[in-house]
Chains A and B, each alone.
Chain A
């Protein structure tokens, strides 16, 4: 085999091979999830503002003192003031920023992932890590990753066995385990 063939675009559908860097960058830009709207930006700013204001109130409650005799609240007070100012700025100036991503149908994947993680955290102390880990692997590979059932089951089992061997048998950690 000649070295020329090694990476040449053999796969069909590689129509985009002759793009200039600018076109390539534009194409990457297109593949990104859609940008979030002004509402999402405002919501994010409001969360920042809320955290900032909450921290200001709590800081004042802790006592501010003076710069030469500061109470515990002074430093958090300064930071939270900065946060409030930045939050306000973001609320007004950042309404039409395009750097936030909208939640799409794809966002159910991280949500599902999160639920499995939370379930694992809840179940681990009760029934050990093996079964929750196995279920997590199966869900992530089969339903979130689109693997075939065969490879899902084989790899999931292998992963759990490997983790058992590393964390329980080899390192002898106190991770809750069933077996």
Chain B
């Protein structure tokens, strides 16, 4: 029963009115940005980071987490009704969801997706509750060498699993690591890459980088107008799926929960990959695969369940190892650092209110989202009519004014604009911004653990292979780095066969 005590105390934290309020604000914002095409959850979280300065750490993370998993619910609505995926993780939902809508079963599709999302999310929280403390206790013995290996592996995985060119993602990661070195060297106190600038001597803050590269970069990129014109339907009726639909989709929901949970834990994994994998699995398992793409309920329920389960379980590496598994988690990491909390294995022990408060808030958040996406779905459908042309300047202004409020300085605002240009150009030239921000967040940890380890090893890099865990992690690192090159060489040799056309899904941040 000792194990359950902190869990129950966590509920007490969640039920504080402030936390409930922020949870509600988070999921409503998440749902909204999920519905509105344009900004993704990472961009939104980046833009709203200044909001978290004046609240308790647990409250801040509860809200940011709500935005993240709320967006998974909201993204479904536009996929089903307009064939426009609001989020990258809802792209595959379009295939069957829109067909269902055309057959007059839009309500059923949305209902199934919400129920699936709720079950997937909740199952994932339960898994998180039991798995996270285990992982954390295992990781308590990690020393600098293990952290070096883990951080390197984390960055590599996020870079190589991203959708675009792998070399470009790695370049973005290297740039992030380089940006992290700007400022005073932690060991010698000497200034690096400051070019005599006084504000730069303290290093570049995480928030302007995130707000610029994710937030403003995305806004500028969207200006170049890719919102396809769409007519919002007036209303959706009958969102409660029939018992027969539920029965038909229950297998997909169950499999989606498990699949999503495990894909979410993997570094570089996450909601988008989980939804695509679930769609593929359901299609493969189906007795009549030809129904897919023509309005199969499993094709909506499976991916929507999986993306929510993955969104939730991707908190595990962050909260237990202090290694963010994807770009959004890197933002959470940054938000926690701002609050003076370093995520890591000690978090469960030293900060149980924070840990369990955030975890348990997800139950409440999922219930709120279920309410919003079943009985209240009509309200969000109406919001589809807000035009991108009106939203863009509003978000841009929020970004600029928000950046000012961090330190009351125009220097931060200028930095945001500069990094906004960098972010826009990166997207334009096919460099994923995610690995940059992730590497930036992990940069200091990586450098300090590497230098500490080398001190311990007397300067011998082979020392990393003398410890079982760091050796294993580095071995995986080498495998991940080398395998694609070998595979690429082999496939080039027999590249006579035409390559299959796979729908490429760009991760929107």
CA distance A146 to B81 in the complex (A): 25
A23 to chain B, nearest CB (A): 10
| Chain B count of residues within 8 A CB distance of the other chain | 84
Chain A contacts for B225, CB-based, 8 A = 106, 109
A76→B237 CA distance, assembly (Å): 59
Tell me, yes or no, whether A170 is within 8 Å of chain B by CB.
no
The size class of the interface chain A forms with chain B is: 35 or more
Report B323-342 CB contacts with A as 1/0, cut-off 8 Å.
00000000000000000000
Residue from A22, A140, A167 within 8 A of B405 (CB atoms):
A167
Q: Are B102 and A21 in contact (CB under 8 A)?
A: no
Q: Mark B391-426, 1 if CB is under 8 A from A, else 0.
A: 011101100110011001010011001001100100
How far apart sit A154 and B461, CA to CA, in the bound complex (Å)?
Answer: 64
Residues of B within 8 A of A144 (CB): 223, 389, 392
Which residues on B sit within 8 Å (CB–CB) of A150? none
User: Are A24 and B94 in contact, with the CB atoms below 8 A?
Assistant: yes
Whether a CB of chain A sits under 8 angstroms from the CB of B288 is no
- List chain A residues, Cβ under 8 A from B431: 44
Residue of B168, B236, B388, B503 with most partner-chain A CB within 10 A: B168
Contacts of B233 in A (CB 8 A): 6-7
Scan A5-36; emit 1 where CB is below 8 A from any B CB, else 0: 11111010000010011101110110101001
B420→A145 contact, CB < 8 A: no
Task: Indicate if the CB atoms of A33 and B390 lie closer than 8 Å.
Answer: no
Q: Give every chain B residue within 8 A of A133 (Cβ-Cβ).
A: 397
Residues from chain A with Cβ under 8 Å of B167 in the complex: 86, 89-90, 93-94
Most buried by A among B424, B430, B454: B430
Docked Cα-Cα span, A61 to B401, in Å, equals 39
Q: Is the CB of B393 within 8 A of A48?
A: no
Among B40-48, B185-193, B201-209, B350-358, the one that faces the other chain is B185-193
Does residue B142 face the partner (Cβ distance < 8 Å to A)? no
Stretch at the interface among B16-24, B56-64, B169-177, B251-259: B169-177
Residue of B with least CB distance to A83: B174
CA distance A66 to B174 in the complex (A): 22
Asked whether, in the complex, the Cβ of A79 is within 8 Å of the Cβ of B178, the reply is yes
Residues from chain B with Cβ under 8 Å of A7 in the complex? 81, 101-102, 104, 106, 233, 236
Q: Are A22 and B104 in contact (CB under 8 A)?
A: no
Closest to B388 in A: A145
Q: Are A118 and B401 in contact (CB under 8 A)?
A: no
Please give the distance in Å from B384's CB to the nearest CB on chain A. 12
Contact A137 B223 (CB under 8 A): no
User: With A and B bound together, what is the CA distance between A8 and B414 in angstroms?
Assistant: 48
Interchain Cβ contacts within 8 Å, total number = 219
Judged by DSSP, the binding face of B is helix
In the complex, B450 has a CB within 8 A of chain A: yes
**Beta-carbon contact of A87 and B171 below 8 Å:** yes
Contacting pair A70 B451 (CB below 8 A): yes
Cβ–Cβ contact B190 & A62, under 8 A:
yes
Kindly list chain B residues whose C-beta atoms are within 8 Å of the C-beta of A80: 174, 178
Docked pose: A24 CA to B414 CA in angstroms: 41
Bound state CA distance, A24 and B504, in angstroms?
Answer: 11
Do A68 and B458 touch across chains, with their CB atoms under 8 A apart?
yes
Q: Mark A109-123, 1 if CB is under 8 A from B, else 0.
A: 110011001101100
Tell me whether A140 and B392 are in contact (CB under 8 A): yes
Q: Write out the residue numbers on chain A whose beta carbons fall within 8 Å of the beta carbon of B460.
A: 67-68
Contact bitstring B26-55, A, C-beta under 8 A = 1, else 0: 000000000000000000000000000000
A22-B501, A24-B95, A145-B388 are contacts. A107–B224 as well, Cβ < 8 Å?
A: yes
Kindly report which residue of chain A lies nearest to residue B408, judged by CB atoms.
A174
For the complex, give the distance between the alpha carbons of A173 and B101 in Å: 47
State in angstroms the CA–CA spacing of A4 and B233 once bound together: 12
Complex CA–CA separation, A41 to B431 (angstroms): 11
Q: Write the chain B residue with the least CB distance to A23.
A: B293
**Chain A residues whose CB sits within 8 angstroms of the CB of B502 once the complex forms:** 25
Q: Smallest CB–CB gap between B464 and chain A, Å?
A: 12
Q: Is the CB of B192 within 8 A of A83?
A: no
Q: Which A residues are in CB contact (< 8 Å) with B389? A: 140-141, 144-147
Closest A-chain residue to B299, C-beta based? A21
A173–B92 Cα gap in the complex (Å)?
43
Contact between A68 and B177 (Cβ–Cβ < 8 Å)? no
- Residues of B303-348 whose CB lies within 8 A of A: none
- Of A7, A66, A103, A133, chain B has the most CB atoms within 10 Å of the CB of A7
Query: Are A121 and B393 closer than 8 Å at their CB atoms?
Result: no
Check B237–A6 contact: CB distance below 8 A: yes
B234 within 8 A of A: yes
Given A124-B410, A141-B389, A145-B390, 5 more A-B residue pairs with CB atoms under 8 Å apart are: A6-B235, A6-B237, A79-B178, A86-B174, A118-B417
Name 6 A/B residue pairs within 8 A (Cβ), A-sorted: A80-B174, A89-B167, A93-B167, A110-B224, A141-B393, A163-B397
The 10 closest A-B pairs by CB, nearest first: A145-B389, A68-B459, A25-B503, A99-B430, A4-B104, A67-B459, A140-B393, A72-B185, A21-B95, A110-B220
